[in-house]
Amino acid sequence: MLVVEDEAVLAAAVARGLRHEGMAVDVSHDGADALAKLDLNRYDVVVLDRDLPGVHGDQVCRTLAGQATPTRILMLTASGTVDDRVDGLTLGADDYLGKPFAFSELVARLRALARRSRDALPPVLERHGVRLDPARREATRGGHFLRLTRKEFGVLEVLLAADGAVVSAEDLLERVWDEHTDPFTNTVRVTIMNLRRKLGRPPLIETVTGVGYRL
């Protein structure tokens, strides 16, 4: 997820809160930097402030909406008039939220948009006796509750959503962590090791040497 907000304190607070909710978050403070990040990374959702310095939020929205990408756009603005909402949606935004906003509402809207940005996935993911409910942040195996950290939950969600396909460590870093994570870190391997232990036996996560992991 990419948060584009020129008010640094607000951007940091939103990013911190979303990470606490288990989301991987990158941050931009201006439109030009946002477009550069969007060229390099695939995001499920962009939280886009409308009044940005440099490249205006409207132009960022128009550019992203004109591309063949499943990325969803939630536009933020200090003005919540009907005309402004209509303008934002006309530009290509998928949703619109006026400032100030309740953080719980932002989270709910972002989760709904994230589901729409991916291929049609069921609201609850199940495979090999593992059941994961992203909305409730709950995971079980064989009916037994799994006490997972936010990163372990995120990795398990990505592996379940892959439906048996191999997921690379790089893709896991991009989907579960954020841009500040060292790409040479062993955090994915350690998280997989802890997740395997918590999932119990028989083991479910397979390491495909030189490629990645699959469930």
> What b/e string do you get for 72-94 counting C-beta neighbours within 10 Å, with b at 16 or more?
bbbbbbeeeeeebbebbeebbbb
Residues 75 and 141 in one domain: no
Domain boundary among 117, 140, 166: 117
Domain boundary among 66, 91, 117: 117
Structural domain span for residue 59: 2-117
What is the distance of C-alpha 27 from the center of its chain? 12
pLDDT number for residue 82? 61
Residues 111 and 7 in one domain: yes
Query: Are the C-beta atoms of 201 and 113 separated by less than 8 Å?
Result: no
Residues 176 and 132 in one domain: yes
Residues 49 and 22 in one domain: yes
pLDDT number for residue 6? 92
Say which CATH number the domain at 156 has: 1.10.10.10
Residues 10 and 105 in one domain: yes
Residues 109 and 18 in one domain: yes
Say which CATH number the domain at 97 has: 3.40.50.2300
Q: Please, which contacts does 192-196 make with residues 24 or more away whose CB atoms are closer than 8 Å?
A: 192/155, 194/149, 194/152, 195/148, 195/152, 195/155, 195/156
Residues with Cβ within 8 Å of 22's Cβ and at least 6 positions away in sequence, in order, are 137, 150, 151, 153, 154
Residues 184 and 108 in one domain: no
How many independent structural domains does the chain possess? Answer: 2
Query: Are the C-beta atoms of 35 and 63 separated by less than 8 Å?
Result: yes
Task: State the CB neighbour count (10 A cutoff) for residue 207.
Answer: 14
- pLDDT tens, N- to C-terminus, the chain (215 residues): 899 999 999 999 999 999 888 788 899 999 999 999 998 888 889 999 988 988 999 999 989 888 767 788 999 887 655 666 666 677 888 888 888 889 999 998 888 887 765 554 567 888 899 999 887 889 999 999 999 988 899 899 989 988 888 988 888 887 787 666 665 678 888 999 999 999 999 999 999 988 889 99
Domain boundary among 58, 93, 117: 117
Residues 140 and 107 in one domain: no
Longest dimension (CA), the chain: 57
Residues 113 and 16 in one domain: yes
Please give the C-alpha separations between residue 90 and each of 40, 96, 114, in angstroms, as whole numbers: 26, 11, 20
pTM, to two decimals: 0.62
Residues 72 and 138 in one domain: no
Residues 108 and 136 in one domain: no
